[in-house]
Amino acid sequence: MYPKFLLAVSGTIFLVYGVACWINPELPAEYAGLFIATHNGYAEIAAMYGGLQSSFGAVLVASAFLKGYQRPGLWLILICIGTLAAARASVALSGLDSSFQVANSSLGIDMSSSFTSYTWGALAFEVFIALWAGLALLRKG
């Protein structure tokens, strides 16, 4: 099941994407269709998409090469990315179709089930690596 490969490649993906998001918080915002309205928003996107993802990736890369850390790294993928996929899927697959009003404003926000390739691609990646990690854990016994 090549656990070292899974950890190194997925870790590198998270690390590189995290650093890119840290440097440019508008990158993930644009992909996800978000609008960053304040400086606090920039800090939050940089922290969650940049800092958290780059540190998560670094931990996965390290666990690929440090003796005795492959199994914990696989558990980390299975739990963290598995629940990330479950949360994304719970919304993307819910048939979401509604309209919201922003507090005392005429600005309407429409939501529909026509998610972009960003959502479906992220979901596919998350499900794939979480399942791969789970299978690798089963094989490692």
On whether the CB atoms of residues 14 and 62 are closer than 8 A, the answer is: no
Q: Residue 41 carries which side chain, given as an amino acid letter? A: G
**pTM check: above 0.75:** yes
pLDDT at 124: 96
What are the extents of the domains in the chain?
3-140
pLDDT at 25: 95
- Which of 76, 21, 86, 12 lies closest to 48, judged by CA? 21
Q: Tens of pLDDT along the chain (141 residues)? A: 599 999 999 999 999 999 999 999 999 999 888 899 999 999 999 999 999 999 999 999 999 999 999 999 999 999 999 999 999 999 888 865 554 455 555 555 554 557 888 999 999 999 999 999 999 999 976
pLDDT at 62: 98
